[in-house]
Each structure stands twice: as structure tokens, then as C-alpha cells.
Amino acid sequence: MKSFTQVTGLVAPMDRANVDTDMIIPKQFLKSIKRTGFGKNLFDELRYLDEGQPDQDCSHRPLNPNFPLNQRRYQGSTVLLARANFGCGSSREHAPWALEDFGFRCVIAPSFADIFYNNCFKNGLLPVVLPEPVVEKLFQQLYANDGYQLTVDLEAQAVTTPDGEVFTFEVDDFRKHCLLKGLDDIGLTLEQADAIKAYEAKRRQEAPWLFDAVKAETAKR
Amino acid sequence: MSARTLYDKLWDSHVVQQRDDGSALIYIDRHIIHEVTSPQAFEGLRLAGRKPWRVDSILATPDHNVPTTQKERASGVAGIEDPVSLIQVQTLDDNCDAYGIVEFKINDARQGIVHIIGPETGACLPGMTVVCGDSHTATNGALGALAHGIGTSEVEHVLATQCLVSKKMKNMLVEVNGTLGVGVTPKDVILAIIGKIGTAGANGHALEFGGDVFRNMSMEGRMTVCNMAIEAGARAGMVAVDDTTIDYVRGRMFAPKGEDWEKAVASWQDLHSDPGAVFDKVVTLRAEDIEPQVSWGTSPEMVGPVGAKVPDPAAESDPAKRESMVRALEYMGLKAGQPIESIKLDRVFIGSCTNARIEDMRAAAQVVKGRRKADSVKEAMVVPGSGAVKAQAEAEGLDKIFLDAGLEWREPGCSMCLAMNADKLGAGEHCASTSNRNFEGRQGYGGRTHLVSPAMAAAAAIAGHFVDVRDFVEGGQA
């Protein structure tokens, strides 16, 4: 798993609430069997003026000049500033894959949808929850200042503005630990294989119908 | 032990290991996989030199990409015209074959939408933990199970370890008491709930549906309700086990048999929230207040009764909501104050994991029987949720009713709910859809989705615009 420690970078705005994962990466791009290459289709329907197709060269497609990611001042952004309930809808992990592939390392919002929030941590993308008034303040600062940057520090659980103002955020210890170190969480779980086997043996005894039925019944028919 | 909620009980019985920071290792009983969110998980597994922990816990089927016309389905995977979709479906077959995973392949009579075939085959049972790389996995919560969607990294995690690292959610109860009016369906109930609490209303919570309305609802109705828990922000939705649940499960292909059945039923008796169990959040609705619903915007919370008018953003006090409404009306091509019934439809879609079970097919057929689709509606398709639903509908003659009315009768799959196959809306087209999401572009680039019940979609197909199905059925053709 990719690690995240600290990032200082340009901030781009995604100034609408309830941004869904269909908007982050539309369905036609989910046909890929790879984990990479989704960045060029991030926010495809907002970013381009035509309908995107899988495996298409996007360099000649007409861009929507009103979309922030197409504007000069936001080129090279690594932090996305967003509104409430970011990442709602479909569980597609292609959404964090697209954000990460595009170059974002961190998304800041007043709230996230649960599955999206979870998926981010698996991909070195840090979702940061800050209170609504703080996010509003950051939006105002961002719009008022070209080249606006933020520093996001996971170890310190802090976001620092160019004026030196610091906002702290919450994150689960285990997720923080895995993300800081870039740990393989499957490997960590497999260290508990004995506990899993013990649980499984007990469950098989108490509820044998939970085991083998799909394989056994299908073999009969 | 103190009074516990249904969710507390399901959680407690699956904890393999509790951690100090509040997270836990949770055991997964059933893992359902499909072609879109699994290929990268299998690739990860192979790259790390790992194998699936328990193959017999997995059931696979392709659903998102599969074509729904008989012509394209006739030659199986090889017949899929879109080469990118073909590779994805073939990859699922290859992965399942390689590891010995049971898969209902494209033209297997048991193939269908993952969330339809889980309960239908008895692969998903009360008291289980069920996961799938798809947010509508909550459907299975109708069985009194803890079921939720996961991302692809978690699909890989469950494949490799049979566990998830998870943090317990909060408890939320939505209670609906009273008696639903004639023509008011489970879909209307869940849309009304989402309209009330919003798409983030249940974020961070496991959502239990309680009250007379759900007690008196069929299993398939409960599945429709739990299916859309995610549209209210909850990863998991659930309904307590009762006789309706047990009657539904009895005799299904993978359900316990003989002595195991008796033991299983006995163990399921406790799958309800105890009297006095504490919920972090409680919302109540009156059944009598719920009318047939139609969504008018680009989020499932933008919904209202069919007899209402499209709301005016100027009347909204919250500036963020106002702005979303303005944007939604622009995208949808609607005017504030316009009656919902004046919205003309270009297409109608009856299907999806929300509404493609046999009761949904019957409800739609009852409305269109002996009538004809409006000429102004370019296409109205009925897509059964599984091979079993299709066979049952055909045995009852429902396919004939649809065809006689000018609707299309298709092969099972996700189809136009998310338009990964050829079934999609054109730009600017309005669609009465029994699916679950009306997001921008969801059913096709520039498409305009209105979420409704199967009966309301069927009535709209006949009338060519939205009509109150209650008038329609009682008063003859509108």
C-alpha cells in the first residue's frame, strides 16, 4: 500500500455538495481491468465538453473552461477542497484510483460517504474531515489567493494554511499507522491467521449450514 | 447482557478480534463477486502469491456489463459486442475457473444481478455477514443479515483473509407505522425516507427499518427498501427476522435442510433489536403520509409526491441546497413550479437490483395489461433481475402482457440502471426508472433519470408522462 506522511501543495476547489462517485469517474471507464490510468477521466463529464470513451486519447477533447481543474491557476494541484458528503453513491474504488492517478494526495471536506472514505486509505489518498465553517473559510482563502497552498501532515493530524493557522483533524489510529508506513493490511491480517481459524472452527460447529452449501449444492445439479 | 440492537448482535457474533482503537477484525460468511470490481482484486492476490481463504464462501456472476438483448446473448461471452465489456466478463470467468469458485455464467439459467440472486438462491441467509464490491449489497439486510458494499482493495482483503478490518457503526432506526395506501409501494416508502433524511442522513450508521409497515411488507419489498439504504448514506440497511423471513428462506437452493434447518431457524429467533435497545438516531414517518414518489433532481433526496410541483429553489433557505437545486433543474431541463405530471418521458426502464424481482414484474404487468405504450415513449424495457425471475414471469405470462403493451422483454442484468452495456439514455432524454440513482449521467451521458416504483413507471409508459398510479388503476386510462 502507498504511504502518506505529509504534503504541501496547490489546492483545487470542488465546490458542490454530494459529489457522487459516478461524477468522479463515470461508469464507462469501470470496464478496465487495471488499477491505473483513470486520472485522465477524473470528473470526465464536468471536465470535457464531449462524451468520453474508454481507451481514448483525451489530449484533443474539448475542455470545459469553467471547470477549475482546466484552469491555469489550479494546474499541478495535490489537495482537493470539497463540500459535504463527498464520494457518495457507488462503492467503486475507481474513484480514489482516479483522484490519485490525477495527482491528488489529499481531499478535504466537511464529511465523506463511508465507503469512499474507507477506500481512500487503501490507496495512499488521505481524506481529511474539517468542520463546515473551517472548510468554508478555506474556500474563501483559496478563491482570494492565486497559488494557494496547504500543508497536510498526517503524523501531526494537522492542516496548516499559508498564514500559519493550524486546524487539527481526527483519524483512526490503525488507519493512520497503516497509511504512514504504507503497510500491507492483508499481510497484517494474515498475521492473525490462528485467530481467524479458531473463530471459523467454532462457527462451523455452531452453524454448519454457513459452510460448503454453495459448492456442494452446485456440484449436485 | 444489556439490550442490543439487531446490528449490535450481528456485529458481536462476527468479531474475530477486537482492537484497542475501536476497530475489529470481522469474519465474513458470504462473499458475492461480479466482473467490475473483482479483476484488480484477483490480480493483487496473484501478485502477492496469495490464494482465496475459503472458496466455498464465494458466489460469482456477471451482471453489470452483460447485454440484455436475446440476439447479443445468444452466443454467450463471445457474443458480447463491446470488446472492453467482453474482456471484463471473460476475466471473471477465468478467475473463477482458476480458483474453483462457483460462478453462474452469462447464460446460466441462475445468472442474474448479484443482489437478486443472493437471497433468491439462499446463498445469503439471516445472521450472516455478506459483502460484495457493490454498494447495493445492503439489499441482503432484508434477511436480517449484516450486508454492505466494499471497495476492490477490501474484496482482495476478504478473498485473502475471510475478514474485514472494520469499525463499528452507530445505530439508526427508521420507524414507519400505520397502513400504506393502495398504490403506495416499498419503493415509495424508501424514496420518502430519503427525501426526509437526505442522502447523508444515515452516514456512519447501520440503518434498521422498523414498525408495522416493514413487518407487514413482503421479503421482496424489504429488499427494495434495504437496497437503497446507501442512498440515505448508510452502508448497511436491515430488517429483523420474523415468520415472513423464514418462510422466504425455506427450501431455497443453498438454504439449510433437514436437521440443520431446524437448528438454523432456532438460531435466527434472536435476530431482532431487544426491547429497550438504544439507537443513536431515530426517525419516524407515518405510512398514511406517504404517496407515490417521483424524483425530479439529480440526487435521490430530490424527490416528492407525484401530485406535487417541481420545487422552487428561491424558496430554499440553505444557500448550498439552493445552488444544488438550481443546478439540478438546469441539468434536468425542468422549471420550478412545473407539475411533476407534466414531465414527458422518452424512455422507461423497469429493472435493477432495486426493482427487478417477481413482485415488481407483476406490479408493472398489472398496470400495462390490456393497454398500449404511448407512441411518444421511444422505448420501454423490462429487464428481469435474474434467470429465475425471468422464468417465473414467463410461466405467469407476464412477458406476453409486456410485449402486447409494446414494452420490451429482456435478458437479466443491471442494464440501464448504470448503462455499462448498450442500454442507455441519449442526452436530454427523460426516463421513468425503477433504479436507485438519478445522478448526472448515470443512465447515459446527459440522460435525465426520474426514480419511481415499477407501477408508476408502467403507468408513465402508457400515459407518456407521469401520472398518479392510484387514479390510473381505479379510473381507467389517463
Task: Decide if pLDDT at A135 tops 50.
Answer: yes
- Non-local (6+) Cβ contacts of B184 within 8 A are B287, B290, B291, B292
Task: Decide if pLDDT at B472 tops 90.
Answer: no
Q: What is the pLDDT of residues B64-80, one digit of tens each?
A: 999 999 999 999 999 99
Task: Decide if pLDDT at A204 tops 60.
Answer: yes
Q: Is A185 on the interface with B (CB under 8 A)?
A: yes
Q: Identify the DSSP state of B342.
A: G
Task: Decide if pLDDT at B475 tops 80.
Answer: no
Q: Is A72 on the interface with B (CB under 8 A)?
A: no
What confidence score (pLDDT) does residue B474 get?
59
- Three-state DSSP state, A163: coil
Task: Decide if pLDDT at B478 tops 50.
Answer: no
Q: Output the CA–CA distances (angstroms, integers) from residue B79 to B37, B85, B381, in the order listed.
A: 22, 11, 21
Q: Decide if B441 and A34 are in contact by the 8 Å CB cutoff.
A: no
Instruction: At B352, list the grid cell.
Output: 435493477
What whole-number distance in Å separates Cα of residue B206 and Cα of residue B187?
19
Chain B residues whose beta carbon lies within 8 Å of the beta carbon of residue A200: 27, 54, 162
Q: Is B181 on the interface with A (CB under 8 A)?
A: no
What confidence score (pLDDT) does residue B476 get?
46
Q: Decide if A33 and B39 are in contact by the 8 Å CB cutoff.
A: yes
What confidence score (pLDDT) does residue A184 get?
87
What confidence score (pLDDT) does residue B389 get?
98
What whole-number distance in Å separates Cα of residue B58 and Cα of residue B31?
5
| Alpha carbon of A136: minimum distance to chain B alpha carbons (Å) | 11
Q: Is B251 on the interface with A (CB under 8 A)?
A: no
Q: What is the pLDDT of residues B384-430, one digit of tens each?
A: 999 999 999 999 999 999 999 999 999 999 999 999 999 999 999 99
Residue carrying C-alpha cell 436437521: B259
The shortest CB-CB distance from B156 to any of A22, A31, A186 is to A186
Q: Is B56 on the interface with A (CB under 8 A)?
A: yes
Average pLDDT, stretch B121-149? 98
Closest CA to B355 of B250, B222, B212: B222
Contact criterion met (CB below 8 Å) for B122 and B252: yes
Average pLDDT, stretch A111-119? 97
The fraction of chain A above a pLDDT of 70, given in percent, is: 100
Q: Decide if B58 and A209 are in contact by the 8 Å CB cutoff.
A: no
Q: Output the CA–CA distances (angstroms, integers) from residue A182 to A186, B20, B117, in the order listed.
A: 12, 20, 37
Q: Decide if B162 and A200 are in contact by the 8 Å CB cutoff.
A: yes
Average pLDDT, stretch B134-153? 98
Chain B residues whose beta carbon lies within 8 Å of the beta carbon of residue A202: none
Residue carrying C-alpha cell 483473509: B161
At B16, which helix (H) or strand (E)?
A: strand B15-18
Q: What is the pLDDT of residues B188-218, one digit of tens each?
A: 999 999 999 999 999 999 999 999 999 999 9
Average pLDDT, stretch A101-128? 97
Vertex A202: Cα angle to A201 and A205 (nearest 5): 90
Phi, psi of A7 (to 5 degrees): -140, 135
Average pLDDT, stretch A75-88? 98
Contact criterion met (CB below 8 Å) for B62 and B105: yes
- Three-state DSSP state, B90: helix
What confidence score (pLDDT) does residue A148 get?
98
Q: Output the CA–CA distances (angstroms, integers) from residue B96 to B27, B51, B93, B227, in the order listed.
A: 22, 12, 5, 26
Domains of chain A: 6-183 (3.20.19.10), 191-221 (no CATH)
The band of A220, judged by pLDDT with boundaries at 50, 70 and 90, is confident
Task: Decide if pLDDT at B346 tops 80.
Answer: yes
Q: What is the pLDDT of residues B15-53, one digit of tens each?
A: 999 998 889 999 999 999 999 999 999 999 999 999 999
Q: Is A18 on the interface with B (CB under 8 A)?
A: yes
Average pLDDT, stretch B458-462? 98
What confidence score (pLDDT) does residue B290 get?
98
Q: Is A215 on the interface with B (CB under 8 A)?
A: yes
Contact criterion met (CB below 8 Å) for A120 and A101: no
Q: Is B267 on the interface with A (CB under 8 A)?
A: yes
Mutate to test the interface with B, among A176, A189, A204, A206 (most CBs of B within 10 A): A189
The shortest CB-CB distance from A113 to any of B58, B91, B203 is to B203
Residue type, B448: R
Task: Decide if pLDDT at B289 tops 80.
Answer: yes
Q: Is B90 on the interface with A (CB under 8 A)?
A: no
Contact criterion met (CB below 8 Å) for B41 and B133: yes
Task: Decide if pLDDT at A1 tops 90.
Answer: no
Q: Could you tell me the pTM of the whole model?
A: 0.97
Rounded to 10°, the helix B387-395/B114-121 angle is 70
Q: What is the pLDDT of residues B297-320, one digit of tens each?
A: 999 999 999 999 999 999 999 998
Average pLDDT, stretch B451-469? 98
What confidence score (pLDDT) does residue A187 get?
95
Residue carrying C-alpha cell 424495457: B381
What whole-number distance in Å separates Cα of residue B39 and Cα of residue B300?
30
Q: Mean pLDDT score of chain B, rounded to an integer?
A: 97
Partners of B206 in the β-ladder: B171, B236
**What single string gives the DSSP state of each residue in B364-421?**
HHHHHTT----TT--EEEE--SBHHHHHHHHHTTHHHHHHHTT-EE--SS-GGGTT-S
Nearest CA in chain A to B264: A207
The fraction of chain B above a pLDDT of 70, given in percent, is: 99
- Three-state DSSP state, B15: strand
Q: Decide if B151 and A92 are in contact by the 8 Å CB cutoff.
A: yes
Q: Identify the DSSP state of B465.
A: B
What whole-number distance in Å separates Cα of residue A151 and Cα of residue A136?
17
The dihedral built from the CA positions of residue B147, B112, B416 and B370, taken in this order, carries a sign that is negative
ipTM above 0.90, yes or no: yes
What confidence score (pLDDT) does residue B477 get?
44
At B196, which helix (H) or strand (E)?
A: helix B186-197
Q: Establish, for the pair of chains A and B, how many residue pairs have beta carbons separated by less than 8 Å.
A: 213
| Alpha carbon of B368: minimum distance to chain A alpha carbons (Å) | 32
Q: Output the CA–CA distances (angstroms, integers) from residue B278 to B23, B177, B203, B283, in the order listed.
A: 21, 19, 18, 13
Q: What is the pLDDT of residues B79-103, one digit of tens each?
A: 999 999 999 999 999 999 999 999 9
Q: Is B423 on the interface with A (CB under 8 A)?
A: no
Closest CA to B279 of B243, B234, B217: B234
Task: Decide if pLDDT at A153 tops 70.
Answer: yes
